[in-house]
Each structure stands twice: as structure tokens, then as C-alpha cells.
A and B are shown apart, each in its own frame.
Chain A
């Protein structure tokens, strides 16, 4: 392995904090997440309101900012129903299993560079690991237990189906999501979040690895069960999904888990693709100090809020996909495309590591393009043939039916029965006009 490509993994700045600093950071992360949940809920409802020509909550506190708090309190004082046939232990465990891992993921989220807190030089990040992104993935997969157990323990078919659906969905989309990370790892040469942010100092990975970024944007919506992938909450089919039988604080925990998960994927997208806490290009070029001190936290939160806005925007604009369409997209589109893209990225990295000559580059790129063209041509030919076959079959069917309307064996009733109004009676002998959306002449009674 050539060492000059890989960013030197320097995590020596982590794990040296005194205990009081760790407590402060943990508290900060907790407060940040809870506040972001409350503010996201408020922002979501206000923005949705704007988009839907209405006001949204505006009564509690200035601009209705305390609406989320009021809703939380309301949930807290509601009766905590436990249905008769539930598995008590699992039923109580499930909400905790859903929300606890969601909080843990944020431990490795870098909010900023090294700063001085009470004379202590420390990173604005609780901790970092050589495999930090794996931790996020592991925690996301732990969160699945919340859904699947909640669905099962409720003892209701709707909840069970909802739980199975959401967990199948989360697991499927997690695979595609992890594959998008692989390209990032290949470029950054590290799995640690602070290392990945450093690797984007010159150019965001969202630009370099744009297919990965786009796939990540889709998977992050699928991962968090949000519209247009909010199948588990597909009301018409499954009532409320896995949390149908939950009420009061337990329901609030699921709600919290959903929003914290949203925060996690947003934070991750900022860290892995959008340059982390670094200021966006025009700001950092005209203001060199933008990336020092406490300012980076502002950039992080600004980017975070923008990604969150996309979630809300999607919710206003999109209907829900069907379950099999969702799975088809996940398994047949996102995963294969990610894999191909990883191969492309890996080839490029390998060529650069081997310090390939221009000729090699040209040959490899040319061969790749040629293969793609050939594949495209073959695919187009096959599609053309299929289309032609379909057309001929259709024409044949029309021909047979024209010759003998009862050819299909179906009893065809008189299509223009007399009792369907006097006006059509005259038309019985006349040739049938071309149908469609075109206007029809009206003769009157």
C-alpha cells in the first residue's frame, strides 16, 4: 500500500479529555439532539404550512416555537395503554431499543476543529474511532430491533406487518447506504469522521463522488422511513405501522427515534459529503478565519439544516411509493449502481496509486467507455425488439377481434344499447368515431 495517498490517521487528539469535558460534550450532544428534534418538528410544520397555503402552529411561544414542547408534554400525560396480549418485557424494551442507538451515533459527529475550552485544547467531537462510520452503521442496524420487536410484541397483525416492513426496508437501504460510503472511504483513505472531513479540505465529496452522494440522499430517506418511503406508516394499509399499539411516552420514544435518526443521517451527509464543518467555498476564500475557532459549528449547523429542509420539502411534494417499488428501487437500482460506481472509483484510485502514464489512463477510460457503449447498444437493440414484438401482438389481437368480436370467448354485450339515450340511436349504424379525449359533437335529444 502506498502511503502517500492515505491521509495519515492521526487520532491522538482524541481520548485525552478530562472527565468534566467529556460530561460537557455528552450533555451538549444530548441537548443538541433534543433541541434539533423540537426545532425540526416546528420547522417541518411551519414550512409544510407555508407550502400548503396555511399557517402551521403559531400559538405556543413566539412563532409557535414551543409547539413541539407542548406536544411532548401532551404525550407525556396521556394514558399509557398496554394491550392485554402483549409480551410485556419486549413491549417495553422496544421503544428504548429504537431510540437509544439513535443517540449514540452522534458521538462521532465532528462539529468543528480543535478549540480551547477552559484552557483545554480539544476537538469539537465527543470521540473518534479508526472505524467511526462503521459505528454509525452498526447503531442504525441496532435501531431496527426497535421496529421489529415493537411490531411483534404488540400482538396485532397490522403492527407485525408494519414492523417487518420497516425493518426490511431499513436493512435493504442500509446496504445501499454502506456501499455509498465505500467510495468515500476509498477517496479519504480512512474510516474516521475527522479524517474524512480533513480529506475534503479542498473539494467536497459531494462534487467528486456525485453518484455516491445522490444515492446516499435516496437511501437516507429510505433509512429513516420518511415520505416517499414511509411505507410503515402507510395509513391506508397498515394503520400506524409498528407503533399502532403504542401510546404516551412509549410512542413519544418512537417519535423521538425517528427524528433523531433523521438528525443522524443529516449529520452524516454533512460530514461525509458536504465538507463537514468547513465553510463553503466563497466564504472561506474571502475570510480565511472562517474555519477556525467556534465558527465551524455555525457552518455545520447551517448545512445540517439545509439537508433537513430537503426532508421536509420531499414530504410536501411526494406521494408514497408502493412496497414492491421501494424494494425494487433499493435492490435493483441503488445497490447495482453503487457497486459499479465503486469499481470505477477503485480503478481510478488504483491507477493513480500505480502512477499510471497518460497512455494507460486513456486505454482504461477508453475501454470502459467502449464497453458501456456496446452494452447500451445491445440493450437498446433488445428493447427495440421487445417493443416491436409487443406491437405486432397487439395488432394481431385487434385484427382477430375486428373479424370476430367474440373471439376472446367473452360475451360481449351490445355496446350501444338503445336505452342509453335517444341521441346515440342514430349513431348505431354510423362508423364509430375515434375515441379519446377529443370533443364529441352533440346533437341534442
Chain B
């Protein structure tokens, strides 16, 4: 980590201002996700939050991470969420039963988690100033990230892959038709044979 002395928080550059603004957008959108009374709108605010986060990465010249964020989170994860909502229930207009009894507990957990993360980062960096990576030879390029991922961080990467595999298998097990009582299959077969 190159920590340079010149530059400080006192006189922010344009990049830093954009970064802060994007952060504010992310935060506001995230709050709206949990407060809006419209289910699909909540998912859309989540898109805004993820998009703004991708913007943050872009400002930090981490281009690969930014576009992967858009591709995976915005383009796939939230779309799948929307699928789930729309295939079960997605009323047009506000829903009344969105607030559960766990709301206070959830607030506590969320605030505690945010507190821990902020403390760690503030404690880790203090007043250190890290300039934009663009000047210091593409730290966010595919090559750098690929090398880091498959050399330094290969164990966590593989562990996460196993986690995903487990989730995949779980999904298949949950959606298997044959596990349930046999009557549904009988009905289907009957329809074909007679019909």
C-alpha cells in the first residue's frame, strides 16, 4: 500500500467529491430499500444502491470490479430477486404487511454491523491518504486482480466456490419433484395417458 504524504482531506479533489456523493446515494438508496412499502420498488432501490457502489469502484479506478458489480449484482442478482417476487406475489401499490416483528432486532444488528465495519476502516487507515490508483499503473485492471485472486487469495476464493456449490446443490434438492409424495406424478401421468 503506497501511502503518500502529499494531498489531504482538507482540500478535496473532484474525484473525492464524486466519491462522497455516490456514497450518500448508496446509503440513501439502501435506507429506502428497507423503508419503502412497495415490494418491487424496494428491489429497484437496491439496484440504485448497487449501481452507486459500482460508481464508487469506478472512481477508485477499479474498473473490473465496477463492471463485474454491475454485471453480477445489478444484472443478475436483483433480476433473480425480482423473478422471485413476481412469481410469488408482487402487488402493484403499497403492501401493508411488510414490517415484521423482528424490525427492532434487525435495526440493532444492522447498526452494530455498520459500527464494526466503520470502526475497522477508520482504525486501519486513520488519516492516511491514498491517491487515485489511475496514476499508479492500473491497480484495478483485470491482470492485477486476477493475479491477486489466484495467487494471494486463492484459498478464500476456493472456499467461496465450495459455498456456492453447496448452495447450488441445496437449490436442486429443494426443487426436486420426486422427493414429495408420489400422487402429483400420478396425476401428471394420468393426464397424458388418457388425454
Contacts and interface: CB of A to CB of B under 8 A. Distances in A.
Asked if the two chains touch in their complex, CB atoms less than 8 Å apart, one says yes
Interface of A: 1, 9, 85-87, 89-90, 129-131, 134-135, 137-138, 140-142, 144-145, 148-149, 151-153, 155, 160, 164, 167-168, 171, 174, 191
Closest 8 pairs (CB-CB, A-B): A141-B75, A138-B70, A134-B67, A138-B71, A87-B92, A130-B141, A138-B67, A131-B64
Given A130-B64, A141-B70, A142-B70, A153 B92 contact: yes
B83 A130 contact: no
A130 B138 contact: yes
A145 B40 contact: no
18 contacts: A1-B147, A9-B141, A86-B92, A87-B93, A89-B41, A130-B138, A130-B142, A131-B67, A134-B68, A134-B71, A141-B70, A141-B74, A152-B82, A152-B92, A160-B86, A164-B83, A164-B87, A174-B75
> Which of A1, A89, A153, A191 counts the most chain B CB atoms within 10 A?
A191
Contacts, number: 77
Of the four ranges (under 10, 10 to 19, 20 to 34, 35 or more), the interface on chain B belongs to: 20 to 34
A142 B75 contact: yes
* Chain A interface main SS type: helix
A90 B64 contact: no
* Chain B interface main SS type: helix
Contacts of A137: 67, 71, 75
Nearest to B51: A142
A137 B143 CA distance: 19
A134 B76 contact: no
B27 interface: no
Given A134-B68, A164-B86, 13 more contacts: A87-B92, A87-B93, A130-B141, A131-B142, A134-B67, A135-B67, A141-B76, A141-B79, A142-B75, A144-B75, A148-B83, A149-B44, A152-B92
B16 interface: no
B22 interface: no
Contacts of B70: 138, 141-142
A87 B90 CA distance: 11
B87 A155 contact: no
B77 to A, nearest CB: 10
B102 to A, nearest CB: 27
A202 B90 CA distance: 54
B29 interface: no
Nearest to B140: A130
Contact of B63 (A130, A160, A174): A130
A152 B90 contact: yes
B75 A138 contact: yes
Contacts of A155: 92
A277 B35 CA distance: 51
B52 interface: no
A75 to B, nearest CB: 26
B47 interface: yes
Interface in B123-157: 138, 141-143, 147
Contacts of A87: 38, 40, 92-93
B147 to A, nearest CB: 7
A276 to B, nearest CB: 20
B86 to A, nearest CB: 6
A353 to B, nearest CB: 15
Contacts of A168: 83
Nearest to B138: A130
Given A87-B40, A145-B47, A134 B64 contact: yes
B114 to A, nearest CB: 28
A144 B79 contact: yes
A85 to B, nearest CB: 6
Given A87-B92, A152-B40, A131 B63 contact: yes
A181 B67 CA distance: 15
A148 B92 CA distance: 14
Contacts of B44: 90, 149
Contacts of A153: 92
Nearest to A152: B86
Contacts of B87: 164
A349 to B, nearest CB: 14
> Which of B47, B67, B74, B87 counts the most chain A CB atoms within 10 A?
B67
A160 B88 CA distance: 12
A167 B85 CA distance: 14
Contacts of B38: 87
B44 to A, nearest CB: 7
A169 to B, nearest CB: 12
B142 A145 contact: no
A135 B69 CA distance: 11
Contacts of A167: 79, 83
A178 to B, nearest CB: 8
